[in-house]
Amino acid sequence: MREDDLRRLEEEIDKLRTKIVDADDFKVYSEILDRTTLMALYKLSKRGSIEALGGVLSSGKEANVLHALGSEGEVAVKVYRIYTSDFRNMYEYIEGDPRFMKVRKDRRSVVMAWARKEFRNLKIAEKAGVRVPHPIDIESNVLVMEFIGEDETPAPRLKDIENDMSKEDMKRICFKIIEYVKRLYEKGDLVHGDVSEYNILVHRNEIFLIDIGQAVLTRHPRAMEFLRRDLENISRYFRRFGIKVDANDLFSEVTS
């Protein structure tokens, strides 16, 4: 892309950035708006999937999630970092997936595949009856999905509100998560691979699984290893609240 074209593109993106609230948000924007991301945001804006970008909802090594407005109202925009992602770790969940057999083992290819993978996994999970953010659109390394929360305030992670929950609340959440893991496995042929209190949102008395990019098909060579790890995480976490769940029993229940 020529420099003149890039400047015009940046001007268009500037028009989208209407609600950047503080210096930390500016820092994140400056880090993630490389040429590929600028072009992706521009195309998404042309399609109406994004109409205005807002503040940063979360920051991580692999991606940043931004609040935005689209034709469907509030949305979340997940921007996968191309140049700072741990693409070798990401490739561990892509290698062996028959949907991505031709992905090259370089940073850019892996990150792009990861974005497509999360978009497709969200669709599978939703079809299986698992509450996840509804996938809306994708372009290159940018995923647009349903915003879980309201009035620009994201729904809390389970980890952040665990001390406010009663034992009955935690028990209900525990068995809902187990139900989701089972639905993913039985109806979606999918294993989440990273179920934890950090990847569970609680909103209006409903439970949502997030960060599903690493989820693998059940025929992936390491699927059972990842499933056991998920169930061990669930049992270990909820035992802290006096809820008796056994990972081996859960594994038998899910796979039977």
Residues assigned a catalytic role: 194, 211
Q: Which amino acid is at 90?
A: M
| CA gap 44, 65 in Å, rounded | 15
CA distances from 75 to 26, 44, 144, 190, 242 (A): 19, 12, 7, 25, 36
What residues contact residue 30 under an 8 Å CB cut-off, 6+ apart? none
Nearest of 143, 251, 247, 146 to residue 206 by alpha carbon: 146
Pairing of strands 73-80, 142-146: antiparallel
How far apart are alpha carbons 243 and 176 in whole angstroms?
A: 13
Q: Which residue has the tokens 């935005």?
A: 68
Q: What spatial distance separates the first Cα and last Cα of the chain, rounded to whole Å?
A: 54
Q: How many residues does the chain have?
A: 256
Residue 56 to residue 54: CA distance in whole angstroms: 7
Q: Give the span between the Cα atoms of 193 and 207, in whole angstroms.
A: 17
The answer to whether 233 and 225 have CB atoms below 8 angstroms apart is no
Q: How far is CA 147 from CA 39, 109, 155, in A?
A: 22, 27, 9
